[in-house]
Amino acid sequence: MKKSLFPTLGMVLLSAVACNEQSIAPDNDNPTNARELSATEKVLVSKGNDFGLTIFKKMAEAESDENLFISSLSISIALGMTLNGANGETKTAMENTLGFAALSSEDINQSYRDLIDLLTGLDAKVEFNIANSIWSREGMPFLESFYNTNKSYFDAECRSLNFADPQTLEIINGWISDKTNGKIEDMLDYIPPDAVMYLINAIYFNGTWTYAFDEERTADHLFTDNNGQYLTCKMMWQKSEFNYLENDLFQAIDLPYGNGHFSMTIFLPNVSNSVETIISQMSQNQWQSWLKAFTLDSINVGLPKFKLEYKEELSKILTDLGMGIAFSGGADFSKLLDGGGIYISRVIHQSFLEVDEAGTEAAAATIVEMRETSAGGGPVEKFMIINRPFIFVIRDHHSQTNLFMGRVLKI
């Protein structure tokens, strides 16, 4: 049976194919005998996917008219390292938000360790790297046990630097750029005077399609955006056998990379549905149900070449999900620093994706910034850094006359 798949407005997911799923590997000259996941790893992966879907839904609701691309794995790993410094109610809140309440600290750390080793060695034909680091302010007496745990389980590079030195910002950003093959640049915009630590995860993916698209077949084609406007894109074409699903909601296809362990799964809503409709129905159980329904079929696929860059600060979303105490002056990170006195101030996430005839290059990084709480347990010092688009008014206070109004989008 021949079918056609013409993307207009869809959803894309990069994933590692589970060991018991059907995968495509016609040129598997260097196969990897992937081991079975342990019971705790399966819990970590399942809950991690739940966490990722929840964040994705929240972000999709908040930015309904913008492209969106995140790595929930990167966010989860960065918070997983941070979790090793949490105690009491803060630890409980972070575990509940991440979905790890049923796992011990040892189970969580060991599962991350094993999963990182599995993913980075899964497919010899796909480059997939995970790097972690911890950057602390010179002179801070952080607990050696915290460093040792993150070195052992996350291979975290640990460095102490003078945060007042302007070169420190360049060093940290340079590390992120290096670990993402130059795809994530200048991620950290500034270092506040009360910042004491940065916990960073970086992920890099470079996979060639198992079935490459022929560049000579790429041609101009119309793409209908979410507002119904027609745009011109470069559409790549091929016909082959792929894992495929078609139902009343969408068409979906699984495009494998390398030996078939990794794939891009694309959901294309039917013309009577929308991306939002599919997102609203996505859950871990529904996701698994859809994947099990895929079958091998002959498909004519048209996929646009595209590139995405995305950056977001996640503290509000994570607070809404139940982690608010970790962002407050009442945070307990006494397993990181005796007596605590520090809190998470920002969780910054940045990502990159480029899809062409040869394959896909993707990168993501997550920064967890930690600051000192103010002396005496009072209110946390506030900052307003005007480093993004803003509106301003020049006005007279006496008569309350507004003299000028402006909007600055670029400097």
Q: Residue 359: name the closest of 207, 226, 250, 231 by CA.
A: 207
pLDDT for 398: 40
Copy the structure tokens of residue 252.
Answer: 């979906």
Question: Is residue 261 in some structural domain?
Answer: yes
**One pLDDT digit (tens) per residue for the chain, 411 residues:** 445 555 555 566 666 654 334 444 444 444 456 788 899 999 998 898 889 889 988 988 888 788 888 999 999 999 999 999 999 999 999 999 999 999 999 999 999 999 999 999 989 999 999 999 999 999 999 999 999 999 999 999 999 999 999 999 999 999 999 999 999 999 999 999 999 999 999 999 999 999 999 999 999 998 888 888 888 989 999 989 999 988 998 888 888 999 988 888 888 888 888 888 888 888 888 888 988 999 999 888 998 898 989 999 999 999 999 999 999 999 999 999 998 899 999 999 999 989 999 999 999 999 999 999 864 444 444 434 344 454 443 443 343 434 344 444 443
Alpha-carbon 70 to chain mean position: 3
Question: Is residue 201 in some structural domain?
Answer: yes
User: Residue 230: which CATH number?
Assistant: 3.30.497.10
CA–CA dist 73, 83 (Å, integer): 15
CA–CA dist 298, 269 (Å, integer): 20
Question: Is residue 405 in some structural domain?
Answer: no
CB contact at 8 A, 282 and 53: yes
pLDDT for 374: 65
CB-based burial of residue 331 (10 Å sphere; 0-12 exposed, 13-18 middle, 19+ buried)? Answer: buried
CB-based burial of residue 18 (10 Å sphere; 0-12 exposed, 13-18 middle, 19+ buried)? Answer: middle
Copy the structure tokens of residue 197.
Answer: 């630590």
CB-based burial of residue 227 (10 Å sphere; 0-12 exposed, 13-18 middle, 19+ buried)? Answer: exposed
- What is the bridge-based pairing of β-strands 157-161 and 126-137? parallel
Q: Residue 31: name the closest of 354, 259, 291 by CA.
A: 259
CA–CA dist 205, 126 (Å, integer): 7
CA–CA dist 241, 296 (Å, integer): 6
Q: Residue 194: name the closest of 358, 344, 44, 391 by CA.
A: 344
Residue type, 352: F
pLDDT for 171: 98
**Domain span at residue 241?**
1-384
Question: Is residue 394 in some structural domain?
Answer: no
Number of domains the chain contains: 1
pLDDT for 372: 94
Residue type, 279: I
Question: Is residue 41 in some structural domain?
Answer: yes
CB-based burial of residue 21 (10 Å sphere; 0-12 exposed, 13-18 middle, 19+ buried)? Answer: middle
Question: Is residue 192 in some structural domain?
Answer: yes
Sign of CA dihedral 51, 204, 33, 115: negative
pLDDT for 65: 80
CA–CA dist 33, 55 (Å, integer): 32
Which pTM was predicted?
0.87
Question: Is residue 411 in some structural domain?
Answer: no
Question: Is residue 350 in some structural domain?
Answer: yes
- What is the bridge-based pairing of β-strands 195-208 and 359-372? antiparallel
CA–CA dist 198, 81 (Å, integer): 11
